[in-house]
């Protein structure tokens, strides 16, 4: 019997990249880093694969080129546009066996895990559920087996974006989300892959911040019943976190159709993740920023730009600003989108490349904050009006109707138009945006004049309140 050659992420091609000229091609992890100056960027079509792969490359660099409080060395690397190839190669070769996809120390896996085998689609549960396979890329039945390269990418995405929920396996009844699963992840975009990585190499937060491959190989006994607690103290840990215990099960042809699957490491606090933006919630305190499916992504960018003082902005973008003295020409934001009312329901995923508006300052930030406050109040008004129109409907039915109507998208479109045009008073912008909400519901409920009158009165009162608050 011929022994299959082990697939190793350091030496075998699995990462699609964009060369300086020509079509995309796949390279190994080692080639992606040592030749990063020759590539325009990653060429992963799936948004979550792109984000997860970039984080893996950064995790390696955190151990090879530790960011210094003195930026001069990093600025020199950025001007030269090259990563330290010899240091990268030497470091990765020391940990080569930890990047095998199979074996005694498999990459981001638990080698002796034994559970009831399940279809490998458990690793793609982050894709929209109940949708159309042609559009989502996820067949509902009889999924095709994955090549080693595909399995490596899917495994990486799953460890980055796995959603929590009931599991009842291996001593655990409910699994946690991956540390950064539902949050908006921001990174600066450079003109080459090397510069993109350097722009996002924000200073780490703890000496004990280690990637998966520098930690002892986890075994089944280590993760049973959430026995191992690993706090994501910084990027190297957060970017390579063992959110789930997984063991890929190869077929005779070297492809993968099934896995062993259970809960992985346990954490007590939200991660120190440089890609996260933070906001102050009225009841939950400091929380990471999430993408809102109802509104333009530009407003998520505004939430992340380092305007003014404070620690709410992603460390990646603050580092990019410090490194170059200016905002990057482009900022990318990626996320897994879930339903706020039904956390297990996946709505989709997003990776958008945005150009920061020149001159964005405190007045733009004030517009965003006022728009968010008013939007939250407007949602409550709309829900109340829908209850008036459908008094026999349950809360779940009202929420479903709200999602179908999608009344806040026109609101955010109006705010976005004002943002792009500039020079408009915030109270006028919010009043116009609230009229869009009223107009959207007026079309659907033209035969409900009482409900529309109630809605109109409350939305206009809200506009007046917003102006009083802004001028107060």
Q: How far apart are CA 20 and CA 7, in angstroms?
A: 27
Residues linked to residue 306 through DSSP beta bridges, in sequence order:
none
The confidence score (pLDDT) of residue 132 equals 33
Does pLDDT of 128 surpass 50? no
Does pLDDT of 321 surpass 70? yes
Q: Which segments within 170-275 are labelled E, that is strand? A: 172-175, 185-189, 244-250, 256-263
What strands lie across the sheet with 118-119, from one edge to the other? 118-119, 256-263, 244-250
Does pLDDT of 124 surpass 70? yes
Q: Mind listing the pLDDT tens digit for each residue in 231-246?
A: 988 999 999 999 999 9
Q: What mean pLDDT is predicted for residues 264-291?
A: 84
Q: How far apart are CA 190 and CA 438, in angstroms?
A: 42
Percent of the chain with pLDDT over 70: 86
Neighbours of 222 (CB within 10 A): 16
Percent of the chain with pLDDT over 90: 46
CB 274 within 8 A of CB 235: yes
The confidence score (pLDDT) of residue 361 equals 56
The confidence score (pLDDT) of residue 114 equals 94
Does pLDDT of 130 surpass 50? no
pTM: predicted TM-score of the whole model, two decimal places: 0.81
Does pLDDT of 471 surpass 80? no
CB 299 within 8 A of CB 183: no
Compare 389 and 93 and report the one with higher pLDDT.
Answer: 93
Q: What angle do CA 206, 160, 44 make, to 5 degrees?
A: 120
Provide CB contacts within 8 A for 380, sequence distance 6+. Answer: none
Closest CA to 51 of 275, 203, 244, 201: 275
CB 28 within 8 A of CB 15: yes
Residues linked to residue 286 through DSSP beta bridges, in sequence order:
280
The 3 state secondary structure assigned to 51-76 is: HHHHHHHHHHHHHHCCCCCCCHHHHH
The confidence score (pLDDT) of residue 375 equals 85
- Read off φ and ψ for residue 460, nearest 5 degrees: -70, -35
- What's the token pair of residue 40? 């325009």
Q: How far apart are CA 368 and CA 49, in angstroms?
A: 30
Does pLDDT of 105 surpass 90? yes
Q: Which of 278-292, 293-307, 313-327 has the lowest mean pLDDT?
A: 293-307
CA distances from 399 to 9, 326, 402 (A): 45, 43, 5
Q: What mean pLDDT is predicted for residues 9-34?
A: 96
Q: How far is it between the farthest Cα atoms of the chain?
A: 81
- Ramachandran area for residue 26 (φ above 0: left; ψ -120 to 50: alpha; else beta): beta
Does pLDDT of 416 surpass 60? yes
> How do 118-119 and 172-175 pair as beta strands?
unpaired
Quickly state the pLDDT bin for 138 (edges 50, 70, 90): very low
- What's the token pair of residue 107? 């990459």
Helices (H), 165-308: 193-199, 220-223, 235-238, 298-304
Q: Mind listing the pLDDT tens digit for each residue in 160-194?
A: 999 998 888 888 999 999 999 989 999 999 999 99
Q: Which of 65-79, 91-105, 444-458 has the lowest mean pLDDT?
A: 65-79
Q: What mean pLDDT is predicted for residues 151-159?
A: 96
Q: Mind listing the pLDDT tens digit for each residue in 367-409?
A: 777 887 888 889 899 999 998 888 888 988 888 888 888 888 8
CA 30 from centre of chain: 24
CA distances from 468 to 334, 371, 429 (A): 36, 14, 14
CB 10 within 8 A of CB 28: yes
Q: How far apart are CA 80 and CA 62, in angstroms?
A: 19
- What's the token pair of residue 372? 């968010």
The confidence score (pLDDT) of residue 218 equals 97
Provide CB contacts within 8 A for 11, sequence distance 6+. Answer: 28, 30
Average per-residue pLDDT for the chain: 85
List, as one string, the DSSP characters of 127-151.
SPTTS-HHHHS--SSSPPPBPHHHH
CA distances from 343 to 127, 165, 278, 333, 347 (A): 14, 9, 20, 21, 10
Does pLDDT of 283 surpass 70? yes
Provide CB contacts within 8 A for 194, sequence distance 6+. Answer: 36, 37, 39, 81, 82, 83
The confidence score (pLDDT) of residue 137 equals 44
Q: What mean pLDDT is predicted for residues 447-456?
A: 88
């Amino acid at each position: 019997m011929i022994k299959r050659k082990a697939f190793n992420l350091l030496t075998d091609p699995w990462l699609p990249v964009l060369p300086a000229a020509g079509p995309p091609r796949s390279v190994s992890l080692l080639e992606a880093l040592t030749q990063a100056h020759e590539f325009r960027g990653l060429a992963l079509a799936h948004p979550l694969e792109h984000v997860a792969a970039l984080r893996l490359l950064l995790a390696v660099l955190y151990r090879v080129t530790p960011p210094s409080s003195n930026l001069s060395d990093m600025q020199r690397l950025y001007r030269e546009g090259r990563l330290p190839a010899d240091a990268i190669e030497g470091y990765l070769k020391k940990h080569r066996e930890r990047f095998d996809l199979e074996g005694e120390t498999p990459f981001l896996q638990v080698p002796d895990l034994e559970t009831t085998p399940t279809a490998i689609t458990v690793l793609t549960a982050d894709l929209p559920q109940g949708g159309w396979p042609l559009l989502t890329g996820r067949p509902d039945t009889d999924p095709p087996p994955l090549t080693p390269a595909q399995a490596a990418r899917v495994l990486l995405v799953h460890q980055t974006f796995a959603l929590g929920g009931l599991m009842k396996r291996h001593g655990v009844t409910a699994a946690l989300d991956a540390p950064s699963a539902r949050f908006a992840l921001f990174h600066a975009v450079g003109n080459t892959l090397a510069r993109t990585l350097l722009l996002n190499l924000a200073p780490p937060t703890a000496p004990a911040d280690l990637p998966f491959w520098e930690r002892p190989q986890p075994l089944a006994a280590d993760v049973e019943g959430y026995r191992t607690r690993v706090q994501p103290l910084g990027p190297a840990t957060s970017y390579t976190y063992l959110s789930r215990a997984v063991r890929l099960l190869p077929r005779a042809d070297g492809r993968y159709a099934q896995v062993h699957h259970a809960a992985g490491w346990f954490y007590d606090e939200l991660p120190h993740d440089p890609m996260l933006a933070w906001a102050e919630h009225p009841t939950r305190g400091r929380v990471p920023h999430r993408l809102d499916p109802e509104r333009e992504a530009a407003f998520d960018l505004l939430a992340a730009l380092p305007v003014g003082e404070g620690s709410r902005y992603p460390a990646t973008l603050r580092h990019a600003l410090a490194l170059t003295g200016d905002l990057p020409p482009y900022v990318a934001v990626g996320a897994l989108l879930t339903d706020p009312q039904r956390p297990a329901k996946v709505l989709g995923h997003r990776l958008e490349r945005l150009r920061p508006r020149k001159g964005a300052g405190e007045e733009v930030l004030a517009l965003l904050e006022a728009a968010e406050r008013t939007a939250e109040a407007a949602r409550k008004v709309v829900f109340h009006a829908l209850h008036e129109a459908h008094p026999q409907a349950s809360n779940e039915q009202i929420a479903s109707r709200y999602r179908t109507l999608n009344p806040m998208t026109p609101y955010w479109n109006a705010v976005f138009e004002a943002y792009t045009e500039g020079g408009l008073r915030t109270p006028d912008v919010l009043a116009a945006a609230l009229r869009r909400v009223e107009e959207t519901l007026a079309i659907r409920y033209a035969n409900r004049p009482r409900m529309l009158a109630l809605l109109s009165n409350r939305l206009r009162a809200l506009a007046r309140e917003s102006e009083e608050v802004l001028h107060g």
